[in-house]
Amino acid sequence: MKCLLIAITAFLLNSEITFSQSPGLNIGDVAPAILLPNPQGDTIALLSFRGKLVLIDFWASWCPPCLKEQPELVELYKKYKNSNFTAGKGFEIFGVSLDSQRKVWESTINRFDTKWTQVSDLKYWSSPVANTYNIPELPFNVLIDGKGVILAKNLHGNQLKQFLDKLQVVN
């Protein structure tokens, strides 16, 4: 009986560890996969950024708060791109647009001179990624560590900067 109890306990603990590392939307879950085309038509995977601290930035060219936030993100990207963090080496932004018009999307990327990866399936709110990430409104973001684990959600402005500062390794 004692062996059975130990076996059940071990199984439950193992299941908990496995479950906590499955794709999901909670802090501590592995972020769901994203595979979308960039403006050049190449399919880019979120997984390709493993090892880095990544801000998944959900935005759209038709969203005034998103546009207001872009200059702040440009500055954060410049500041932290080559930084080391406790949660990854380097900082990337993975821009996921919920646009529907390619020309407007590309024009907005150029207007703000964003140097990070931008992707979109141009399906607006019908994008499967919007559904997978259960996006309530824009702008919305998810910060993941080098293993793809969700560290924080929907941090903007000074909150985001302070969070990045806490994770940064100072040499």
List, for residues 17-51, the tens digit of each pLDDT value. 334 455 789 999 999 999 999 999 999 999 999 99
For residues 149 and 52, is the Cβ–Cβ distance under 8 A?
no
Which of 116, 3, 105, 108 has the alpha carbon at shortest distance from 49? 116
- Mean per-residue pLDDT for 99-111? 97
In a domain, 38, yes or no: yes
Q: What's the confidence (pLDDT) of residue 171?
A: 63
Number of other CB atoms surrounding residue 81 within 10 Å: 14
In a domain, 4, yes or no: no
In a domain, 12, yes or no: no
In a domain, 50, yes or no: yes
pLDDT tens for each residue of 140-162: 999 999 999 999 999 999 999 99
Q: What's the confidence (pLDDT) of residue 170?
A: 76
Counting residues of the chain whose pLDDT is more than 70, the rounded percentage is 87
In a domain, 123, yes or no: yes
Record the pTM. 0.86
CATH code, domain with 49: 3.40.30.10
| 65 cis-preceded (ω within 30 degrees of 0) | no
Q: How far is CA 119 from the centre of its chain?
A: 12
In a domain, 104, yes or no: yes
Question: How far apart, in whole angstroms, are the C-alpha atoms of residue 12 and residue 86?
Answer: 29
Structural domain range at position 92: 23-167
In a domain, 130, yes or no: yes
Domain count, the chain: 1
Residue 49 DSSP label: G
- Integer angstrom CA distances of residue 154 from 13, 40, 111, 123, 129: 30, 28, 24, 22, 16
In a domain, 160, yes or no: yes
